[in-house]
Structure 1
Amino acid sequence: MLYSKPKDEISVILAQYHIVPNYFETVGKVVKVYTNQGVFALKEANVDRVYRNNLVENVRSLQDKGFRSVVPIYHTQNGEYIVEFNTKHYYLMPWIESVDARSDENLHFQRMFTSLGKMHGSTQKEKKVDKDQLQVHYDTLTKRWSKDKDVLENFIEAAEGNWYMSPYELSYCTYFHKILSAHQFARGQLDEWFKKMKDTENTRVVMNHGNLSISHFLVNKRGEGVFINLENAQETTPIQDLTNYYKGSFKTYPIQQPDRNNWLKMYEKNFSLREEERLLFLSYMAYPTQFSSKINSYLKRSDGSTEKDNVRDLLSAYWHMINIEYFVSKIQEDVEAAKAIEDL
């Protein structure tokens, strides 16, 4: 698709890099710029995210630590990495011609998780555990989860007290024991994590991508992968990238694919999770986040949704939970198998 903005606008921006465009086109959210010096990618930046999360510093820090699987950001002739024009902000990168991920999707994901493990490994830092902050986090989370549990239990009590159940209530009653089991498992993992962290002096923080997605990982024809779109990158626990990615990836029809567990194994070959990190990861993954909010929405029914819509929505949340249950169970199996080998 040919770029719709005036050519003069792009030319003015690129002139600050001493680059003269021949022509350009939009590809997704970037402008692909063809020049005599090569092909470039010009992206309009979310200025708040770029400066709040120190995009440029993060990319340079990764490269300084020897991590090359990240697309570089070019600076202008004046040394600026972010260019402002007409109140908008842009940054320039080399254009990377990526192979089609669909040609071998599983291999593409393996490469992404391998690179993610290397990125986390190359940027890891030890950080002293703030015991007060730890307690506040635990108290806040358990309080919220207790309120969620009250909603879950109150709704089934009300539903079972009805002479005739609505389709939504009947569906919920069918799912309830699975939902409660997931809630109890997540709380148990959280309690184990808190108990262990109280006796732990140091924890780890790493550079997280912040928006991990297969569309943000490009692989060239030589099989070399690079991360793009690091505007949300920040230093925090390594499980943040994992939890955010996996939670989103299971929002689909029921699946039981070991591939997703294998991707995690590829990650851990390069950056092995500590016991306390795994406990918190399993807790966050297993917690049935959606149900209390969906019940509250159903009770209010202020969005005009029909009974059928709500039943379908509840089923989607149930599928999401079941998919995660399989994923978590396979992780537990692997942990138990590793412990059995150690005990030999």
Structure 2
Amino acid sequence: MNYQDPVNYHELLKQYQLEIDFIEDYGKVKKVYTKSGVYALKEVEEAEIRSHDFIRILQNLQHKGWMGFVPIYQSRQGSPVVTHQNKGYYLMPWLPNTPSDERDVRYHKLFQELAKLHGTSSKEVEVKKKDIETHYTGLKTTWEDRQKELEEYVMECEKKVYMSPFELHFCTVYYEMMRAMEFGFSRLDEWNTEMEEKEKIRLVTIHGKLSAKHFLYDERGNGFFINLEQAREASPIHDLVSFYLRTLRTYPLTSLDSYEWFATYEKHFALREEERLLLHSYLAFPEPLYQCIMQYRHQRYKTELEHMQSLIRAYWLTKNIEQVNIKIFEVDQQKKIAAEAAANETET
């Protein structure tokens, strides 16, 4: 769709010494055609304009040798972010994003580049016992409260003579949710035990909003991240959990592709034991189902059919995530058994 009134952008792009031929509108991103080439102009939020944190983070990563993001051009004044009519913008080359690889290969490339990002930015920081305890008790209390809400609601539903289709389906999946929660609680308790002797934790620079649509390809088939405004220091599991939550919102999956992506990631950047335990915990808790059920219970503004469709989609997402989570757990257990057997053979 052509942008009908490029006058404001004409003034803005003078700061880059560019003259517009025409612009295509893709929401917050504008595809800018000029005599010198095609560019992507991205609008950023006011808070991001004030902080410029993501620019500083990208510059630090570049100094460390990681170039896995689409470069940001500087204006004539030497600024990577320019303001115009109380909004902020930055300019990048427009990538064609027409990879010849199959979908699954592209996901492997994404996870490989994510591992490089995490590995390049990885650092050890001291952690206080109080902070660990605060995170543990806060997360466990939140999940226990949600578990109690679900218990109360299933009892409320089962007392009815005639349940709605939604309520009937909820009661059907309820015990699966409880088993998933038990697995999540047990991994969280193990994480807390594992952290008792730890004085340091590992932080990396995370993408912050990781998804396949934020990983684009150039003409040579090389992949680069975009949309890094929410990049920050955190545990590497944040990117993994958020990616699976965004990506596995599909029909039920029968393949183990989603586990193979994780295996590719670990070939380049392996998680530590405490990180794995916390990953299992976050992946196990059926948050999408909980949110869907509570919306029906307290904010029923959609039709019964629409709520049922939302519940089924949330259930599929939960089961897809459960599949990869259990596979990671099973492979880890097999490796531990093999290591113990090898150690026993060495002793004998």
Instruction: Give TM-score scaled by structure 2 length.
Output: 0.91
Is the 2:211–2:247 Cα contact (8 Å) retained in structure 1?
no
Structure 1 residue corresponding to 2:277, chosen from 276, 279, 282? 279
Cα separation, partners in 2 of 1:191 and 1:50, compared to 1, 3 Å? farther
Where in structure 2 are the equivalents of 1:130-169 lying within 5 Å? 130-169=128-167
Q: Determine the structure 2 residue equivalent to 1:58.
A: 57
Larger RCO of the pair (alpha carbons < 8 Å, separation 6+):
1
**CA apart distance, 1:38:** 2.9
C-alpha offsets along residues 141-166 of structure 1, whole Å, 9 cap, x if unaligned? 11111111111222222333334433
Q: Determine the structure 2 residue equivalent to 1:109.
A: 107
Cα separation, partners in 2 of 1:27 and 1:175, compared to 1, 3 Å? closer
Cα separation, partners in 2 of 1:75 and 1:180, compared to 1, 3 Å? same
**Distance in 2 (alpha carbons) for counterparts of 1:125 and 1:51:** 26
**Distance in 1 (alpha carbons) for counterparts of 2:175 and 2:194:** 29
Q: Determine the structure 2 residue equivalent to 1:325.
A: 322
C-alpha offsets along residues 172-219 of structure 1, whole Å, 9 cap, x if unaligned? 222121110001101111111111112111111111111111111111
Cα separation, partners in 2 of 1:31 and 1:158, compared to 1, 3 Å? closer
Pick which of 170-179 and 45-54 moved more: 45-54
Q: Determine the structure 1 residue equivalent to 2:2.
A: 2
Residue identity in the other structure for 1:196:
E
Cα separation, partners in 2 of 1:98 and 1:192, compared to 1, 3 Å? same
CA-based RMSD of the aligned residues comes to 2.0
Where in structure 2 are the equivalents of 1:179-190 lying within 5 Å? 179-190=177-188
Where in structure 2 are the equivalents of 1:23-62 lying within 5 Å? 23-27=22-26, 29-52=28-51, 54-62=53-61
C-alpha offsets along residues 239-261 of structure 1, whole Å, 9 cap, x if unaligned? 11111110122222211221111
**CA apart distance, 1:51:** 3.8
C-alpha offsets along residues 2-59 of structure 1, whole Å, 9 cap, x if unaligned? 222334x223222222233343333453222233433322222223134446121111
C-alpha offsets along residues 298-342 of structure 1, whole Å, 9 cap, x if unaligned? 333542x33333333322222222112211111112112222332
Pick which of 27-36 and 284-293 moved more: 27-36
Is the 2:6–2:23 Cα contact (8 Å) retained in structure 1?
no
Residue identity in the other structure for 2:307:
N
**Distance in 2 (alpha carbons) for counterparts of 1:112 and 1:335:** 23
Residue 80 (structure 2) pairs with residue 81 (structure 1):
yes
C-alpha offsets along residues 96-148 of structure 1, whole Å, 9 cap, x if unaligned? 222147x6211111111100000010001111112112111111111111111
Q: Determine the structure 2 residue equivalent to 1:92.
A: 91
Q: Determine the structure 2 residue equivalent to 1:236.
A: 234
Is the 1:185–1:286 Cα contact (8 Å) retained in structure 2?
yes
**Distance in 2 (alpha carbons) for counterparts of 1:279 and 1:50:** 36
C-alpha offsets along residues 262-294 of structure 1, whole Å, 9 cap, x if unaligned? 111111111111111111111101101134444
Structure 2 residue corresponding to 1:266, chosen from 254, 264, 270? 264
Residue identity in the other structure for 1:34:
Y
**Distance in 1 (alpha carbons) for counterparts of 2:35 and 2:307:** 56
**Distance in 1 (alpha carbons) for counterparts of 2:185 and 2:244:** 19
Q: Determine the structure 1 residue equivalent to 2:345.
A: none
Is the 1:62–1:68 Cα contact (8 Å) retained in structure 2?
yes
**Distance in 2 (alpha carbons) for counterparts of 1:149 and 1:26:** 45
Cα separation, partners in 2 of 1:311 and 1:96, compared to 1, 3 Å? closer
Is the 2:97–2:218 Cα contact (8 Å) retained in structure 1?
yes
Residue identity in the other structure for 2:4:
S
Residue identity in the other structure for 1:172:
F
**Distance in 2 (alpha carbons) for counterparts of 1:5 and 1:117:** 42
In structure 2, the gaps of 5 or more residues are: 343-348
Instruction: Give TM-score scaled by structure 1 length.
Output: 0.92
How many equivalent residue pairs? Answer: 341
Cα separation, partners in 2 of 1:21 and 1:342, compared to 1, 3 Å? same
Q: Determine the structure 1 residue equivalent to 2:337.
A: 340
Structure 2 residue corresponding to 1:306, chosen from 285, 295, 303? 303
